[in-house]
Amino acid sequence: MNRTVNIISKNFKKYNPESIEEYLELGGFEALKKAIEMGPQEIISTLKTSGLKGRGGAAFSTGRKWEYSANVKGDKKFIICNADEGEPATFKDRYLLEYDPFKVIEGMIIAAYTTGSTNGYIYIREEYKYLHNKVRKAIELAEKHGFLGKNILGSGLNFNIKVVSGAGAYVCGESTALIESIEGKSGRPRLKLTRTSKQGLFGLPTLVNNVETLAAVPPILEMGVEEYIKYGTHTSKGTKLISLCGNVNKPGAYEVPFGITLREIIYDIGGGIKDGKQLKFLQLGGASGAIIPAKLIDIKYCYEDLEEHGASVGSGAILVADETNKVTHFLKSVQDFFIHESCGKCTPCREGNRQLTKIINRFVTGNASVEDLKTVEKFANVMKYASFCGLGQTAPTALLTAIKYFPVEFYQQIDRIRKTS
């Protein structure tokens, strides 16, 4: 039984994203109208009830985040839609921007209305170049129809949106690095001495939300929160867009209710493993996510159950690897990614990735030592505990979970008892 749902993804491929009329026919901007009737306080409490969490990976309560932002005073306040989607194996935000850009815009306007923000940015990764002008076009159409600009729908809200392109750095998905990037600086995370909601972009109050988080708001308001929370589990409410890819028959972005099992995702939705091979492991949440062995695929896809196994939903990426994949070789590809993307600012991430790369390469070529296994684990932990931002803290997640679940694969690559250097 295919348990995919259509809440956030309702409009996918149902309308021409260059036609705001078609979006309106599908009930577009009704949620905004409803939001204006509800008022900021009710929107915030609705979101709190909905259990909506940041869908970019951090999983922070959206209702609480908006509440913080709404309580910050300021004449000029920003909302940033984080469409940097740089996490490998993740492409669900691309679907949203490509097939339902107006919903993202509508979500941003509701956020602006709720928090009293004046300026919005959609920060789209450079690699989604073909989407930049499409989204700009959608903004333009929304402006023409009075959904952006001055006194939106008579609510007194003045709000406009600009599209900003990233320049290719993965770390710019981290909200403070993203802010630096919009400010024209090199994308490196900032030391947060005060919350971004108080001092963010150009030192002004800023709310940063993931594309999917913003796109989830209109459906929640439209269908009613009671209806929304019928999906999901007690603590992981609602639905999630997943990016299913790897050695699976039907890769793609799907919307699933929380609580579905990984087995259902891979076999019912994904059509099973390619070429009839056996499943070996999954990587959840992108390159920065944990590795889960095949024996655990009956666990539920929700925040709490995954956490029990040292994994997390993260961005919603599910990478499927079949029996032909060597764990150590897979880790090398992850490591190559992180050593390329570390910004270099802090010691653990810059030097830790350098050392991890060297050692993992020895495991790949089969001439690692016993000490190497201890050393690689030790410094993976140093990175995890000591790095400045999420990039360095999560870069060794795959490695640490691989050591936990596939120790034998490491031992097979060891050819020396003692390090010779």
Partner 1 sequence: MKNCTITIDNKEVTVPEGTSILEAAKKVSINIPTLCNHPDQTVKANCRICLVETKPGKLETACSTKVRDGMTINTVSKLVRDTQRGVLELILANHPQDCLKCIRNGKCELQKLCEMFHISKSNLEDEIDALEKDESNPSIVRDHSKCIKCNRCIEVCQEVQGVSILSHAHRSTKYCITPAFEKKLVNTLCVFCGQCTSVCPVGALYEKDDTEKVWNALYNDNLHVIVQIAPAVRVSIGEEFGAKPGTKVTGKVVAALRRLGFDKVFDTDFTADLTIMEEGHELLDRINRGGTLPMITSCSPGWINYIEGFYPQLLDHLSSCKSPQQMFGALSKTYYAKKLDLDPSQIFTVSIMPCTAKKYEAERKEMSSYGYRDVDAVLTTRELARMIKSASIDFLNIEEENFDEPFGITTGAGVIFGVTGGVMEAALRTVYEVVTEHELENLDFMDVRGLEGIKEATVDLNGTPIKVAVAHGLSNAKKILNQINEGKSDYTFIEVMCCPGGCIGGGGQPIGSTMKVREERIKGIYDVDKVMPLRKSHENPAVKELYEEFLGQPLGKISHKLLHTTYSPRSEKIDFDYLQWNNEIALTEE
Where does this chain bind partner 1 (CB under 8 A)?
169, 171, 186, 188, 191, 193, 339-348, 350-355, 358, 371-372, 374-375, 378-379, 381-382, 385-388, 419, 421
Select 192 or 329, whichever has its Cβ closest to partner 1.
192
At 342 the three-state DSSP class reads coil
Select 55 or 188, whichever has its Cβ closest to partner 1.
188
Select 49 or 381, whichever has its Cβ closest to partner 1.
381
Nearest approach, Cβ of 355 to partner 1 (angstroms)? 5
Helix 211-223 to helix 40-50 angle (10° resolution) is 100
Nearest approach, Cβ of 415 to partner 1 (angstroms)? 16
Nearest approach, Cβ of 375 to partner 1 (angstroms)? 4
Nearest approach, Cβ of 346 to partner 1 (angstroms)? 5
Select 132 or 188, whichever has its Cβ closest to partner 1.
188
At 257 the three-state DSSP class reads strand
Select 77 or 188, whichever has its Cβ closest to partner 1.
188
Amino acid code (one letter) for 19: S
Select 143 or 351, whichever has its Cβ closest to partner 1.
351
Nearest approach, Cβ of 53 to partner 1 (angstroms)? 20
368 strand-pairing partners: 414
Nearest approach, Cβ of 218 to partner 1 (angstroms)? 36
Select 193 or 408, whichever has its Cβ closest to partner 1.
193
Question: With 0-12 CB in 10 A as exposed, 13-18 as middle and 19+ as buried, what is 41?
Answer: exposed
Nearest approach, Cβ of 395 to partner 1 (angstroms)? 11
Q: For residues 197 and 70, what is the distance between their CA atoms, to the nearest angstrom?
A: 9
Q: For residues 318 and 296, what is the distance between their CA atoms, to the nearest angstrom?
A: 14
Q: For residues 101 and 363, what is the distance between their CA atoms, to the nearest angstrom?
A: 45
Nearest approach, Cβ of 308 to partner 1 (angstroms)? 16
Q: For residues 71 and 350, what is the distance between their CA atoms, to the nearest angstrom?
A: 37
Q: If you ran DSSP here, which 8-state letter would residue 268 be given?
A: I
Residues 6+ apart with CB under 8 A from 326: 409
DSSP string, 74-122: -SS-EEEEEE---STT--HHHHHHHH-HHHHHHHHHHHHHHHT--EEEE
Tell me the Cα Rg of the chain.
Answer: 22
Neighbours of 245 (CB within 10 A): 18
Select 230 or 354, whichever has its Cβ closest to partner 1.
354
